[in-house]
Amino acid sequence: MRLIVGLGNPGAEYEWTRHNLGFLLIDKLAVAAGVAVKRRECRSLVGSATIEGERVRLVKPQTFMNLSGEAVACLLAKAEITDPAKSLIVISDDLALPFGTIRLRARGSAGGHNGLKSIIAAIGTNEFVRLRIGIQPEHPVSNAKAFVLEHFRKSQQTEVEEVLERSAEAVSTLLRDGISKAMSIYN
C-alpha cells in the first residue's frame, strides 16, 4: 500500500491556483483509475485505487498547506506504515523550478515549501519520494505567497494539462518501474 499525497489548499477559491497542483494531479490520477477522492479520514479526502498493479490511497489533505504534515502523519499511522521511504509519495508545486518542469526525488529537503516542511516535521524524516511541479515564471516574483495563490491564466490551461499528464505518467512509471527509472526518464 502506498500513500500518494497531493498538496494544496481546500476550497473552491483555491481550485485552479498554482499552489494546488498537487490536488489537481490527485484528481487526474483518480479519474484515470475510476475512483472518487471523497472519503473523509485524518482531516483529508481519500480514495483507494489500483495504479500499475499497486494498491494506493490518493490523498488530498484538508488542513491547508502549512499543516499538511498532521494529516499525513495520521494516515501513515492508521495504515501502519513505518517506512515512508517505501510507501509515501508527495506531490507539490515548486517555485524554484521553471513552469512546466517536473522533478522526482527519493528524498530531500523542504526547499522552502511549507507543506513539505510540515510533513518532514510531523513524520520525523525527509526520506520519502516527492514529485515537484515547477511554477516559476519567466519574470522575478516580488511576493511569493501572493504568486502561489494566484490562479493560472486561461492561456496557461493547455500547458497545465500537459504538465499534469506528464506528471501522471511519471507517477505510473514510478509505481511500475521504481524511482530510479522514473527519475531517469522524467528529470
User: Cβ(163)–Cβ(97) under 8 Å?
Assistant: no
Quick check: 86 and 171 in contact, CB under 8 A? Answer: no
Task: Confirm whether 151 is a catalytic residue.
Answer: no
CA angle, corner 24, sides to 22 and 25, nearest 5? 65
All cell numbers assigned to 4: 500518494
Query: CB neighbours (10 Å) of residue 37?
Result: 22
Q: Which of 19, 113, 139, 151 is catalytic?
A: 19
Can you give the length of the chain in residues? 187
Active site residues: 19
